[in-house]
Amino acid sequence: MEKKTRKRVIVYCILFVGLIVGITVVLFPSVLSSTIIGSTMRQGEWKVSLNVFLVTGIIGIVGIGFKERVIRFCQSRANKEKRLTSKCESLDFVEAAHGHKVYPLMYCHMEVEGNLDISRLRSAIARSCQYVPEILYTYDFTRGRFIDKGFTVDDTISRTSVLLQWDLGKKPQLQIVMNGDENEITIGMSHILTDGEGFLQYLYLLASLYNGQTPSFSLENSRDISPVLRNIHIGRPTEQTRRQRHITVPPLRADSDGKLYFCLCSRICPKDFSVLYSKSKKQNVTLNDIFITAYARVISRLHKIQTIVIPCPADLRGFSSMSDKLSIANMTGIYRKIVVEIKPQHSFHETLLQVHIEMQLQKSRYRCFVGIRPLDYVFHKIPHPVMAQIIKWTYQLFPVSYTNFGRIEHTKLFFEGCKIKSCYTTGTYRLPPDFQLSVSTFQNVCTLNCTLIGQNEDSVTGQNILNEVKNEILEWVNMN
């Protein structure tokens, strides 16, 4: 039997079963009432039979009389639901599925000098909704949809003391908090709606609209990951990954029931960062290679282990022609295991070369795309509760992780009438014992950051790790 014929037979079988089920459901009340009337009449219970007959007749007459209204009501509800919702994409759902452990949020922290016009900012947010309407929507974790519940721009801006977390199912996907006479600004965005690169794109869009400029990219937002997956052929795992596939790294901090929030930073000044950047070019390595190398060496020293495994996110836009398009969406893959072997005699430079080679091999083999194409294919074909369980099994979270938000372009992120003195981006607050090192750069100031939930001891541990990573980098920078 040909493939098309088999598909046709399957479709006919499904339609037949659906028809039988539909007829059964529709006729069941009538059959039930007839059975009750017949049974009670045989037993001489005429009053019960008459009452059932009258109730059935009334329901039938009401149904006939209000048929058009019922149909119009159902159609209006369906149209309203369609009009006021936005579907979730496959990689959005990955972030939502892990929300119980890593709540899907990102933050941009800015210190501003000058007059930031709040009414002008509101207007810019309102205009950005033309391109990204989901920023005012809530997220339905059960149905996997963004839903418009009538929130306005005023619901995104507040003057509370600090922005930690908010319920994405009850509030918009964007929150902006003005602190200290509006000199400190924290912008939070849903990680279900977008990834780190998409977050930066939204910030650039917001700044352009605030300044009355025309953005340099297309303003039609693309959230579909499918075009990025075309013509991608994933190669085999690297030798390092195959040999060390069972290796895991213990947590960097203790498990606890602490509820305190910490946003910790360690900064590399512009002078040192300029030297770092120049040296990376001379050595033909990336800044990302250097950050991973320093992080791996610190982990090795803390745990006294010689093999380190670190997952590393990758922006999939760079593998396609979407780099010049608005894509406020989740388009981040992950190199699941960057394996680094660190012997006691290894210098920073030797570890760096190993990391660089491993990263180049995994990039050339498109290993950051592993699992994404089948996930995207089955996403809209499997019930969301089942899909969530599959994602939890296949997309496991590691207690030690790393992300690089990259360079925040000061030529794109600025607001007329004021000056941004400092700016950095962070990931969500991590529950014990998880730890994530995040890196971002603004005007040649490189910020190493971690955001933690825990006890005061976690703050000390986190700050020590950040400082040690920074010291590893600066020692290499200052070597001849």
Give the integer Cα–Cα distance in Å for 397 and 98.
8
Check if the beta carbon of residue 440 is closer than 8 Å to that of residue 405.
yes
Whether residue 55 sits in one domain with residue 92: no
Could you tell me if 129 and 192 lie in one domain?
yes
The predicted pLDDT at position 1 comes to 45
Which residue, among 124, 320, 103, 257, has the nearest Cα to 135 in the 3D structure? 124
**What per-residue confidence (pLDDT) applies to 99?**
87
Residue 83 confidence (pLDDT)? 47
* Confidence at residue 275, expressed as pLDDT on a 0 to 100 scale: 96
Domain assignment of residue 364, yes or no: yes
What tokens were used for 344? Answer: 């006691």
Apex 389 CA angle, 384 and 391, nearest 5: 90
Scanning 225-311, the segments in alpha helix (DSSP H) are: 226-229, 239-243, 270-283, 287-303
The stretches of 129-269 forming alpha helices (DSSP H) are 196-210, 226-229, 239-243
In which residue are the tokens 């390092």 written? Answer: 240
Per-10-residue mean pLDDT of the chain, 480 residues long, equals 54 59 56 57 59 62 60 52 71 91 95 91 95 96 93 91 88 90 88 97 96 78 90 92 85 93 97 96 96 97 94 92 84 94 93 97 96 91 88 86 96 94 97 97 98 96 98 92
Residue 217 maps to a domain? no
Residue 24, pLDDT score: 58
**Contact yes or no for 340/277 (Cβ under 8 A):** no
Residues 161 and 30 in one domain: no
309 plus 436 within the same structural domain: yes
Assess contact for 307 and 291: CB atoms under 8 A.
Answer: no
HSE of 456, CA atoms in CB hemisphere, 13 A: 0
- Model pLDDT, residue 164: 87
- End-to-end Cα, the chain, rounded Å: 72
- To the question of pTM greater than 0.85 for the whole model, the response is no
Q: Look up the CATH number of the domain holding residue 327.
A: 3.30.559.30
Give me the domain span that covers residue 23: 3-83
Q: Is residue 272 part of a domain?
A: yes
Residue 265 and residue 167 in one domain = no
Instruction: Note the pLDDT of residue 341.
Output: 93
CA 442 to chain centre: 23
**Strands across the sheet with 174-179, in order?**
157-158, 174-179, 184-190, 105-114, 418-426
Q: Name the nearest CA neighbour of 337 among 353, 352, 358.
A: 358
Q: Note whether 299 and 421 are same-domain residues.
A: yes
